[in-house]
Structure 1
Amino acid sequence: MPLLKLASPHPGSHPSLVSALCLALGLAAPLQAETLKLTHFQLVDVEQGRVLQDRQMLIEDGRIVRIVPATEVLVADSSRDLGGRYLMPSLWDMHVHFEGRELVEDNALLLPLYLAYGITAVREAASDLAPEVMVWRKQIAAGERVGPRIFSAGQKFEGIDSLWNGDLEVGDEAAMARGMDKLTAMGVDFIKITENTLQPELYLKTVAEARRRGYRVSSHIPYGVSVAEAANAGLSSIEHLSYVLRLGHQDEPEIAASVRSGTLEAKEAAARYRDGFQQPLADKGYRMLAAQGVAVTPTLIGGYQLANLDATDHSADGFLRYLTSAFTDKYSWRIERMGEQTPAQWQARKQKYQDEAAQLSRLDAAGVMLLAGSDSAALNTYVYPAEGLHSELQLWQQAGLSPARILRAATLDGARFMGLEKDYGSIAEGKRADLLLLRANPLADISATMQIEALIQGGEFHDRAQLDTWLGNAAAAVQILNTGRRGI
């Protein structure tokens, strides 16, 4: 089968290295899925939070045609006995980044790993690799590259001289409109906005303009904008739970107004938000978010990893075999920045994480849509691509959410947020056959999502041997890249 050519090498790269990397990855167009019957499995119903015993399924042209008890007769071109294992919808990671202009190959080799970890869709929340990501998205959709379906924001909106690489820096409405035109031409799936230097008034106008153009808008929230103002402007999702905690401060609207007027510095606003949290006020704010239809992507794993850097040795983490040295070198900036913290500061960071995690069940009780996302990226220390989502789900369970609620967030709610619940997110006749086969019941313990026996993507069955091949290819590609860059 034909191999896919990777992105053009950077200046100084060796053509032989890129060729070897292509061979190591072995990315090829998948075969057309045949009519397939799956028998003797336990169906995990994420809509109702229950298991349906001993079912069988017929898949044709990548869609689920029939689901019936095992006693009925179904005829298909081929059949697989699933041995009583648990069949659930495949996972969606609703916040990832592929980033680093010098890390194109390093990110590309990770794409099959998402499938190996049961993830068939990712929401890519903008990066400096937008041109490459858009190519990967097209190739995956065409069956020319192995990887998850990508929903991408392309480049995120920011203010002038922002901290981040590759964003769209805008200082006025005209520049913002040109940025919107550029993203529309790129064919982005949603709009992402962050708040490093973007002015509050322009932030609100950017949200409103994106919604006017029909986009979903995911965002951080500037200190000069209240959460209610962002919601009223048309925000679709808040990325990271820390922003939501501002709703628990009675002076939040006044603090935002003071920052916007220039009478209060952002650093002072942050200090004020650290004190005076009131749970009833926060709960009221959460109900406002639910009423406005604003989702929240908590991304607990990043805060957890940083809060526990003092007590965790990551040197033996198994996932490191899939990350190049150049990729993990990006972790050092946060490690070095935190290396001089006092014991009291470490404890304060741990408490901050606990305070945020405690709000997860409160958001759920208020009816807020929760989206499961890892925020995996080269700049996010020890938040591993693909594996990070599973870690995130386990943290949700530790925070008090039931496995049933967590599963819905990681499957159906992701599809609903993207407006694709008719085709994805649960197991039902007529839906696309993106499925995950597990050795244990995820409704009993969410960690069962790591006990993967097989993946079905678009009706094509990938057994454990195939998943392991993808993992092995990625590990081999890492060795090739590391060796080539050392000039050995």
Structure 2
Amino acid sequence: MLRNLFQFVFVVTGFLASLSLAADGPQRDYDLLLKNFRLVDVESGQVRDGQLLLIEGNRIAAILPAAQQAEVAAKEVVDLGGNYLIPGLWDMHVHFEGRDLIEDNALLFPVYLAYGITAVRDAASDLAPEVLNWRTEVAERKRLGPRIFTAGQKFEGIDSIWKGDLEVGDRASMLAGMDKLEKMNVDFIKITENTMDPQLFIDTVAEANHRGHLVSTHVPYGVSIGELADAGLSSIEHASYVLRLGNADEAAIAKAVRAGELSKEVAAERYRAGFDQRQAIEGYRMLAQKGVAVTPTLIGGRQLAYLAETDHSDDAFQRYLTQRFMSKYQWRIDRMAGEGDKEREARKARYQLIASQLPLLADAGVVLLAGSDSAALNTYVYPAEALHTELVLFQEAGLSPLQALQAATVNGARFMGQWRDYGSIAEGKRADLVVLTRNPLEDIRATQDIDSVISGGTLYRRPKLDSMLEQAAQARAKLDSSREAAGR
């Protein structure tokens, strides 16, 4: 019945739009008319044939039956050859980082678009001023790249190991930090758990929620996930943290760590040893009830778990990454160099356990957000490409292709409060679209077979995308050469 109702509404909407267009007459020139495509409805999972899509400026002006083409006119008419039309992809967890990598990050922006990624959520770094400037430049179409949502600087405790954090040690400094981020007009608040006091961590979540901000966090050992959910948490970044919900004593363990009665190392071991799947599912239902989303970021754990048996020396994407960027990967490689077979097998088992939770999280009603955690410090998690790998890992973990696609489209737009403009293909929404040569609802790997990308109403066909990629490769080579010549 709901499907029939949806189809009825879709037909009526198209009919009303056609009346409006007919009233304007064919003399009105729209900017772009797309025809001969298969529209992938990311909400219903249906594929629709026999339609036209009209773009005016940066918006979808109308979606009409193909039979009405004679009633409309456009400056450009493009036959998409029966390919599949999906919304632009969103990577919901990236980092543009490294004070010595400003140019290295900037040259990757067109690469994101060439990979069909039209929006990214930057989860904070030491490049906050640059990222905020890039956000404006992209929005004003002065820079070619995906739309940026950013946390600016992330909250941390005093003497954090991460660079560029907003370090706070008490409530007064936290409130001042919140004021600073609001002046920066950040899109959400990010908090990590390296050195921050547990109670201050909870207070920061609560303050961000009180001020109306989305707030995304790691989970400290001294704080239970339930406490964070009650304080107003919006999303947990990295699914490894949700495994703690599989321990019936999670709240007690967190309380003991906060009181100084239990070390983080002992707490970690208790979480590992006490995992119960049924208990975890109950915890996932709690997350769903309280509206806490999860960004799994599987790829980082997967790359490290299989690092010893994977040869990355010929990875094609490295043609876009400078030598300096790639050098940042080494710290994790060095840290794992002494691991033996036992440690490697344990790492693989943990990755598989985390991945196996995704269908259970989805079944419990938790909103999943597709994010790569691509960053210079995350070994072999390549910007842009990693999101597509993440979606494949979602599918391999047991999610349907539709669920994986939703995690990179509709879920992100809704989470960020941008559903009116993004996340699906509908009249009035922003014209951020990707044309695929295969059906992603049959195999999510189809997101990698890109024919064209439309960003802000501008169409980039495959030759143009290839040119953008080649220019990025040339920019990388030039940057490497200039540094080599300068001895840097």
Q: TM-score, normalising length from structure 2?
A: 0.92
The answer to whether residue 55 in structure 2 is matched with residue 59 in structure 1 is yes
Alignment of 1:133-212 (within 5 A): 133-212=131-210
Partners of 1:398 and 1:142 in 2: CA distance:
38
Aligned equivalents of 1:167, 1:121: Cα separation in 2: 24
Counterpart residue identity of residue 378, structure 1: A
Residue 125 (structure 1) aligns with: 123
Counterpart in the other structure of 1:272: 270
Mapped partners of 2:284, 2:308: distance in 1 = 33
The count of aligned residue pairs is: 456
**Shift of residue 487 of structure 1?**
1.2
Q: Could you tell me which residue of structure 2 aligns to residue 44 of structure 1?
A: 40
2:301 corresponds, among 294, 303, 324, to 303
**Secondary structure of the equivalent of 1:310?**
helix
Q: Which of 339, 349, 364 lines up with 2:337 in the alignment?
A: 339
1:340-390 Cα shifts (integer Å, max 9, x gaps):
111111111000000000000000000000000000000000000000000
After the TM superposition, which residues 316-465 of structure 1 pair with which residues of structure 2 at under 5 Å, given as runs? 316-465=314-463
What SS is found at the alignment partner of 1:421?
Answer: coil
Q: Offset at 1:69?
A: 2.6
Are the counterparts in 2 of residues 43 and 54 from structure 1 also a CA contact under 8 Å?
no
1:122-154 alpha-carbon deviations (Å, 9 max, x no partner): 000000000100010011111100010000000
Change (3 A) 1:34 1:146: farther
Q: Does 2:67 match 1:71?
A: yes
Q: Deviations over 1:395-439 (max 9, x none)?
A: 000001000111111101100001111111001111111100001
Whichever residue aligns with residue 265 of structure 1, its letter is S
Name the SS for the 2:120 alignment partner.
Answer: strand
User: SS at 1:315's partner residue?
Assistant: coil
Q: Is the 8 A contact 2:30 2:54 kept in 1?
A: no
Q: Is the 8 A contact 1:95 1:375 kept in 2?
A: yes
Equivalent residue letter for 1:446:
I
The C-alpha deviation readout for 1:176-235, integer Å capped at 9, x for no partner, is: 011111111111110000000011000000001111111100000100000000000000
* Structure 2 SS opposite 1:487: helix
State how far apart, in whole Å, the 2-side matches of 1:54 and 1:345 are: 55
Query: Shift of the alpha carbon at 1:97?
Result: 0.1
Alignment of 1:2-17 (within 5 A): none
Provide the C-alpha distance between the structure 1 equivalents of 2:483 and 2:258, rounded to a whole number of angstroms. Answer: 47
Letter in 2 for 1:374: S
Q: Could you list the runs of 5+ residues in structure 1 that have no partner in the other structure? A: 1-32
Letter in structure 2 aligned against 1:351: A
Aligned equivalents of 1:309, 1:187: Cα separation in 2: 39
CA distance in 1, matches of 2:345, 2:62: 54
SS in 2 for 1:280: helix
Post-superposition CA distance 1:20-56 (Å, at most 9, x none):
xxxxxxxxxxxxx962110000000000011112321
For residues 79-90 of structure 1, the aligned pairs below 5 Å read 79-90=77-88
Select which of 272, 280, 283 maps to 1:282. Answer: 280
Match of 2:453, SS? strand
Q: How does 1:14-29 map to 2 (within 5 A)?
A: none
Return the alpha-carbon distance in structure 1 between the equivalents of residues 39 and 322 of structure 2: 38
Amino acid across the alignment from 2:32:
L
Among the aligned pairs, what percent are the same residue? 62
Distance 1:313 1:221 in 2: 33
The CA distance in 1 between the partners of 2:438 and 2:129, in whole Å, is 40
CA contact (8 A) 2:30 2:73 kept: no
Partner of 2:21: none
Give the Cα separation in 2 of the matches to 1:137 and 1:433: 18
Aligned-pair CA distance for 1:478? 0.8
The Cα shift of 1:68 comes to 2.2
* Higher percent of residues as helix: 2
Contact 1:49/1:405, CA 8 A, preserved across alignment: no
Residue type matched to 2:370 in 1?
A: A
Contact 2:83/2:438 (CA < 8 Å) preserved in 1? yes
Which residue is equivalent to 1:22?
none
Matching residue of 1:220: 218
> CA–CA distance in 2 between the matches of 1:165 and 1:66?
47
Partner of 1:480: 478
2:77, 2:225 → 1: CA distance?
Answer: 52
Alignment partner of 2:49: what SS?
strand
Distance 1:183 1:62 in 2: 29
TM-score, normalised relative to structure 1? 0.92
Matched residue type, 1:72? Q
The CA deviation at 1:156 is 0.3
Gaps of 5+ in 2: 1-28
> Could you say what the CA RMSD is over the residues aligned between the two structures, in angstroms?
1.0
The alpha carbon displacement at 1:272 in A equals 0.8
